[in-house]
Structures are given as structure tokens and as C-alpha cells.
Chain A
């Protein structure tokens, strides 16, 4: 078996089978300042592409292809070791850019982990085994005797996922279940007495967990080092570039001051009908109807209202009034007011929470009595059609929207709905934040109001 070289020694003229760098340490390479920025921007395109793909709810096979395409388009270099250099350098530059706040770190961690996961899947099994040992995972392969005793159950698990148990010499690893939370959560492994039996092809999960955990700690250290020493040292050289990368490529950014201006309680009613995306309209209608919302719904709608400019006092008045038929004022103050103030950063650890992104809303799981989540994903077809019709979407547009839904393009579906309701087209990519939707909508409404052209209000 050929030993796969990992790219640690910088001087290598032989063509190495490229293996994934683990980004354990910053390479002792010299980098031109221009490359510093260029490499980072290319990698950022890859990460943003991944973010977009996840937001659209792409399936693993689709993500695999997407990652391959993105990498090919942005990160390839004719010379293998140049490519490896760019890979490593761009990663470390982006660490500097994305280490500075909790939210940035979370995003970067999530995208880099996803990138790593799909690149790992491309590797040959020897390369994968080599990487596993690099992570020093002390998991033993299951002995033949033990394999025989659990073979039936392993087969059952495989078939439950639509797969078959690999041949008789399949390798399984026995691992404490705590090490493979994703596999446990998805019921993709057999667990017995606290041990998970992980198939070779699931090893990705093991490795990815390690990668993620390592990178998470590294980001915190990077932040510390940056703020304490490096930023000052580099204030004329790297620091301006890092700042520039931050502001120009941040994606949905809620740290900017509120561009939509403010809205007040009396505006909400009207604006809900004209400008809210379906998920928020639904929650709003439900709270009007039931005079109550469960926690998930209160969070999703409440943070959205905050994000579009509802001040705390107005928010408290709004919820209190809506709940009044079911909740006395005293009870409201006791049981609900605290949480609302908490969302606005006035209680507890005083975090100023931002509205949920589409990705978060799409991936949530509403349960009994819940109304949050993404209607394009969570509603049955007939309920969704009814809701769209109520919004005034023409039947042809409804078909287009349903087509997007069937292909799991939930955000595109929402965009189409917007276009149908407002009779204008908008850039789908720009649309990807809930708040942007709202701003676009309010913008159009205000534009029409200015020119005294009646906005087509959905007939009820």
C-alpha cells in the first residue's frame, strides 16, 4: 500500500497524491501580499457557495457535486503543490477574518467543516485511513467474532438506510456513541451498551467531528492572538486587508444599522399583509387567530419584528395585546415579558439576538402545535397552495412555486412568491436574508406610495 504524503514538507518536487491538509499549523511559507487577499477571496467564494447550497436544502449527493465544482472553479492550480499552498494559505487568512465574533466563527466553522467533509468523501479509502490515523482516533476495528454476533443488526441498520451491508470483510469501528453524534441523531448506526458500530464509509463523521472540534478551539486562539498582538503589529500591512475582506464579503450582515427604519405597532397589521414573507405571515395570522404562539413561533416572529425595526416597548405592547384574550396582563408580565426583553438584549446575558436566517428557519423542526419553520418546506402541498392563493399569487405562479418546492429550492420558492405578489423581479441571491426580503418589500411599497400607484393588495 502506497503511503500517502501529507503536505507538510514544503519542498517537494515529486507529484504527491494530494491529501487534505488538516490546517494544524500555519505554514512557514512566504506569501505575496496580493496573493494574501486573492487566495482568501477565492476560498470565500467557495464557502459562500456552500452556504448557499445548504440554504437551499440540497441533498448530500448534490452538495458533493457542488463542492467539487466550486473547488474546481476557484481553487485549482496546474501545479499540485501550488494548489496545496493556496489551500492552506487561504484557510489561514480567512481564520483571521472570521475569528473576531461568535457569529462569524460559527459561520466559518460550519462552512469549513462542510467543505472538509465533502473533500474527505472524495479521497480514496487508503487516504481516508491515513487521515484517520492522523487524527489519532484510537478506535479499534471490530473483531471477526464480534462482527458475527452483531452482523444481523448491522445489516438491519444498513438496509434501513437503503444500503446493503458490505461484504463479509467489511470493516467496522467500535466507538463510544458520544464521538459520533451525527450518526446517532440520524439513527445511522447500531448502538449497543453505549458503543456505536461505525461503518468504514461513515468514518467521515468521526473525522469531521474531530476536525470541527479542533478548528473551533483554533479559532478562539486565533482571535486572542489577533486582538492581543498581531493586529497591532500588522496595522499597516495585514490588518487593512483583513478588515476589507470582512466588510465586503460578509453575507447577511445584521451588524449594520437598521436600514428599513422603524415600524410601529399600528403599521404591523398592514405591513404583514403586504410585505411579510409567508413564514412570518403565517405566524402573524396564527397569533391573531389563537391569541397565542408556542415558543418556537414567538422566537421566529419576535426576532423578525425586532429585525425590521419594532422597538422593545412596541413589541411588548404588541404581544401583550395579542395574548390579552387568553393571558392576563399580570400573567403576561410574569411569563412572557422576560423572554421578549431577553431577545432585545435587556436581560440575562444581554445578547442582542439577530433574526433567524432562512437556513435556520428551513432546518427547524416544528412539532405539535407549532407554526414556525418554513412553510415551503413544512406545509403539505394543499395547505401551501391555499396559503399562496390567499396571498394573491396567480395560479400560474403557484405552479412555478410548487415546482421549486418539489425540488427543495425553498428560498427560490419564496423569491418567486415575492415576485408574484409585488409584480417585480428581484435578484435571488440578494434575497437570501429574511430581512432583505422585508426591506425589498417595504422598499417597493414605499416606492409605489410615493408615486401614488396602488400596490396590488392580495384580495382576502
Chain B
């Protein structure tokens, strides 16, 4: 199979009828790569793609798991035939998922995941207690930036702290983002290691029954948290979130922040000042910023020696802005996650990649929708070169970005991995042969 065949199969978006479209998931890293190398490299694993689980959600909410395919063509045909509303990608198992019933639960010959990308899922509904502009599934340009900063914090840590390189951020289609870490090292992480990474990222630990949801003990922050604070969170909180969400403008809202101050006398001092000063003061500065400065100066003044107050300002900023990950998604190898380039059935938007280096520019309200793409393709007429079909559409940029920034480098790295392990095996067999 040539590169062109593999790539065409990947991104050919066939419009079938009025509503349904089949977005072939731009296949993920090693799936397609292994096929590409099928027949091309003696050391590649031919069964790899066939052991990958896909799941389809069909019309009427019918959900079918453990779908597997031996080739790109099989996958494509199945998608066109079944027209799933959603396609999820699962792990690569030890054996073809279709044959799982023949294998034991325990012991040697077992059906179990062997590789799976490290994934993260961030959903804006988990921030409902800190955004006042929208609730539930709604998202607007005032609160979307919470996702942007989540991307920045996590992406930097994944690269700088954990040393991962092949990272794909994807818009979830409605109200959040997904992250796929596809390095070989990441795919081979155990559940325990994934849980460790998820816990490394975890700061928020609360719900409506506890007051203090963020606790940053210790005189100093861990370098990861400190970097996140100074490079991303503090600036965003003070310049954007605080004024845009009017976090200190009225009693109902500022009470939430005052509640986080462990010292009741400090809280009531501020409360007193703000209650007196109900309307915007003489200065024309935003009332939120003014009050924030007051709060900071009281909490950070030299007088406050008590342990609990030292980090209070940071705790407030963290509790509003720090990324809130869904732990369960990341911890388990067998967790299924929606494939990129799917169409979200409720919004019609395509799950496009987000460039972490330009995530400030990403606007979820202008992401191409299915109907939009249909119109564009119909207007463009039939084109000779199937490979460039999407080029002229609004999806063109996304596909190009996906290929050049993510897929090509990953392809190269997988190739190098295969080659070096092949060479190592050759060396080994040479050594054992010599006696």
C-alpha cells in the first residue's frame, strides 16, 4: 500500500445523502503507519491495526463495541455502510477484539489492552461553578478561554516535564477539548502510570460539600504549579476572567471568593469594605480589579503570618482557572475516546485539531459544520484529484495542520522506532549465533 492510498483512505470525507457524513477518523498514529509499513518493512507488526478497537454509536443510540478491521479499506467500508454518528477509538489489544471470547480472563493467554495513547478530556461543564455567562452545554467566547489556558498548562507540562512530543489537541465538537499523546512511551504506559500523571495534574479536589476545593500547602509551589501560575493562570485571571465574569462585583459573587479565605476576620474586613462601597468607586477602574488589588494587598501584606493565608491568593486563582481534567478518562487503558474529525451530532461541528501554539486564536463558534462543508463541496463541484477534495473547503487548513504538525513527525518517529528495534534484534541474533 502506498502512502497516497493510505492517506486518501484516511481523510476522504464521503457525503452520503443529506444529513450523514462519514468522517474517516484520521487515524491515529500507529494504526495507519503499521499498515503503511505492511509489506514495506520486515519488522513491522502486521497485526497491530487489526487489534485496535473501534466503537460506533449508530442512529437511535445503538452502541457497538469491539469493532476491529484488518485494513483501512475495511474500516472505511464499515463506516460508509453503518454511518455512525460517533466513532470512538479504543486501545490496541493483545489479540483481535473480534476473537476476545476465545481468551481467558486471567493467566497467560489473556485478552487485554497492550497499547493505548495517553488521553485527556476537559469539559467546560466541570467549570460551571466558576462561569456565569453560560451553563451546561453552552459555550461562548467569554468562557471558552478557560479551555485555552487548560491547553497551555497541560501541553507545556506534557512536553517540558514528561518529555512527550507527539501531542494532538482536538476540539470535542461542543464544549471541551481532548488531548491525545501518541509517543511510543505514552502508548505503553500502564494504568498505574497513567493515574500518576493524572494525579500530577490534579489540583482541584472538591464538590459542593466542601468549601476549600484547592489546597496548596507548603511555603512554596512545586515548579510545575509555579510555572503554570506565573506564565498562564495569573495573567489570565487578572486580565480576563476577573473582569469578564465580574467575579467581585456583587455580593453573591464575591462571597464565593471570601469563603475561600481561611481567616474569618480577614474575610469580614474585606466584606465590610465592599459592602460600604456598593457602587463603582470614584476611580474609573473596573470594580473587580480594584477589589482584587485590595484583597491581594490584605492577604499578602507582611502582617499575615499564618500558614493558611500564605497561598490564599494563588488558591483563589487556581480554583477558578486551573485545568479540571476528567481523571477516569486518563487512568484506564481501555477507555474509549471520540476520534478526531468526527462530526458532533448535536452541533454539527467537526472535531478539528487545535494548535497549542496558537490556541488563543481558536474560536469554537466558527468551526466548520457538516452542512457548511456540504455546501462548500457542492459548490466546488467534482474535482479530479480526490486527495485534495477538502483543500478548498474550510476543513482544508485543519487537515493540513493535522498532517504536517502531527502526522508526519509521528510517522517519522515510528519509522525510526521500528528500524532501531529491528537493528537491535539483528544485533542480538548475531550475538547469540556466535559461539
Residues of A that sit less than 8 Å from B by CB: 102, 153, 156-157, 159-162, 177-178, 181-182, 184-187, 190-195, 295, 331, 334-335, 349, 365-371, 375, 378-380, 383
Q: Which of chain A's residues have a CB closer than 8 A to the CB of B128?
A: 368
B302: interface (CB < 8 Å): no
Minimum C-beta distance from B108 to chain A (A): 9
Taken residue by residue from 208 to 241, chain B's Cβ proximity to chain A (1 for < 8 Å, 0 otherwise) reads as: 1111100001111111111000000000000000
Known: A366-B207, A380-B210. 16 other contacts (CB 8 A): A156-B220, A156-B222, A159-B218, A159-B219, A160-B218, A160-B219, A160-B225, A178-B193, A192-B163, A367-B126, A367-B207, A368-B129, A369-B207, A378-B209, A380-B212, A383-B209
Determine if B221 and A160 form an interchain contact, defined as CB atoms under 8 angstroms apart: yes
Instruction: Write out the residue numbers on chain A whose beta carbons fall within 8 Å of the beta carbon of B205.
Output: 365, 367
Q: Are A185 and B163 in contact (CB under 8 A)?
A: no
- The answer to whether A193 touches B160 (Cβ under 8 A) is yes
Docked-complex contact A375 and B209, CB < 8 angstroms: yes
Min Cβ gap B291→A in Å is: 25
Once the chains bind, are B161 and A192 in contact (CB under 8 Å)? yes
Assembly CA distance A50 to B160 (angstroms): 39
B282 to chain A minimum Cβ distance, whole angstroms, is 38
Contact B327 A187 (CB under 8 A): no
Structural contact, A185 and B200, CB atoms closer than 8 A: yes
Chain A residues whose CB sits within 8 angstroms of the CB of B105 once the complex forms:
349
Interface membership of B174, Cβ < 8 A: no
Instruction: With both chains docked as a complex, state the minimum distance between the C-beta of A179 and any C-beta of chain B, in angstroms.
Output: 9
Please state if B162 and A371 are interface contacts (CB–CB under 8 Å): no
Chain B residues, Cβ within 8 Å of A182: 196
Asked whether any CB of chain A lies closer than 8 Å to the CB of B396, the reply is: no
With contacts defined as CB atoms under 8 Å apart, how many contacts are there between chain A and chain B in the complex? 107
Residues of A within 8 A of B217 (CB): 162
| Chain B 408-426 near chain A by CB (<8 Å), digits 1 or 0 | 0000000000000000000
- From the candidates B196, B219, B221, name the one contacting A181 in the complex (CB within 8 A): B196
- Provide 17 A-B residue pairs closer than 8 Å at the C-beta atoms, listed in order of the A residue: A156-B223, A159-B220, A160-B218, A162-B219, A181-B196, A184-B197, A187-B200, A191-B162, A194-B164, A335-B61, A367-B205, A367-B207, A367-B324, A368-B128, A369-B208, A380-B209, A380-B211
- Produce 1/0 per residue, B183-205, CB < 8 A to A: 00100010011011101101011
Cβ of B42 within 8 Å of any chain A Cβ, yes or no, is no
Q: How far is the CB of B183 from chain A (nearest CB, A)?
A: 9
Q: Are A157 and B196 touching (Cβ within 8 A)? A: no
- In the bound complex, residues from chain B placing their C-beta under 8 Å from that of A190 are 223
On chain B, the number of residues with a Cβ less than 8 Å from chain A's Cβ atoms is 44
B162 touches A185 (CB 8 A): no
Q: Which chain B residue has the least Cβ–Cβ distance from A296? A: B328
Is B222 in contact with A177, judged by CB distance below 8 angstroms? Answer: no
> When A and B form their complex, which 10 residue pairs have the shortest distance between CB atoms, in order from nearest?
A194-B163, A181-B196, A185-B199, A193-B163, A185-B196, A159-B220, A160-B218, A184-B196, A191-B161, A187-B222
Contact check, B222 vs A157: say whether CB atoms are below 8 A apart.
Answer: yes
Q: Do A156 and B226 have beta carbons less than 8 Å apart?
A: yes
Are A295 and B328 touching (Cβ within 8 A)?
A: yes
Contact status of A181 and B192, CB under 8 A, knowing A162-B219, A367-B206: yes
Distance A379 CA – B210 CA, assembled complex (angstroms): 5
Give the complex CA separation of A161 and B161 in angstroms: 19
Residue of A nearest to B63 (CB): A334
Once the chains are docked, how many angstroms separate the CA of A349 from the CA of B189?
Answer: 23
Q: Are B163 and A178 in contact (CB under 8 A)?
A: no
Question: In the complex, what residue of chain A is closest to B128 when comparing beta carbons?
Answer: A368
- Cβ-defined contact, A177 with B129, below 8 A: no
Q: State the Cβ distance, A98 to closest chain B Cβ, in Å.
A: 16
Contact of B272 with A by CB under 8 A:
no
Most buried by B among A177, A178, A190, A368: A368
- Is A370's CB under 8 angstroms from B193's CB? no
Chain A residues within an 8 Å CB radius of B163: 192-195
Check A194–B328 contact: CB distance below 8 A.
Answer: no
- Which residues of A are found within 8 Å of B129, using beta-carbon distances? 368
A161 touches B218 (CB 8 A): yes
Give the residue name and chain of the A residue nearest to B164 (CB): A194
Chain A residue numbers with a CB within 8 Å of B185 are: 178, 194
User: Is A367's CB under 8 angstroms from B204's CB?
Assistant: yes
Q: What CA separation (Å) do A70 and B278 show in the bound complex?
A: 62
**Chain B residues with CB below 8 A from A160, complex form:** 218-222, 225
B207→A370 contact, CB < 8 A: yes
CB distance from A413 to the nearest CB of B (A): 16
Contacting B162 at CB < 8 Å: which of A194, A365, A369, A380? A194
Q: Complex Cα distance A156/B328, Å? A: 30
Complex contact A187–B224 (CB within 8 A): yes
Residues 309-368 of B at the A interface (beta carbon under 8 Å): 324, 327-328
Tell me whether A186 and B209 are in contact (CB under 8 A): no
Q: Return the CB mask of B116-156 against A: 1 if under 8 Å, else 0.
A: 00000000001011000000000000000000000000000
Q: Which residues of B contact A153 (CB under 8 A)?
A: 223
Query: Which of A185, A194, A295, A379 is B209 in contact with, Cβ under 8 Å?
Result: A379
In angstroms, Cα B400 to Cα A348, docked, is 40
- Complex Cα distance A295/B185, Å? 30
Are A187 and B225 touching (Cβ within 8 A)? Answer: yes
Contact status B199-A186, CB under 8 Å = yes
Q: Does B106 contact A (CB under 8 A)?
A: yes
Bound-state CA distance A184–B189 (Å) is 14
A369 to B128, CA, bound (A): 10
Beta-carbon contact of A177 and B218 below 8 Å: no
Q: Which residue of A lies closest to B203 (CB)?
A: A187
Min C-beta distance of A33 to chain B, whole Å: 32
Q: How far is the CA of A185 from the CA of B191 in the complex (A)?
A: 13
Query: In the assembly, what is the distance between CA of A161 and CA of B217, in Å?
Result: 8
Residues of B within 8 A of A367 (CB): 126, 204-207, 324, 327
Find chain A residues with CB under 8 A from B204 CB.
367-368
Chain A residues, CB < 8 A from B208: 369
Contacts of A157 in B (CB 8 A): 222-223
A191 to B202 Cα, complex, angstroms: 16
A194–B197 Cα distance when bound, in Å, is 11
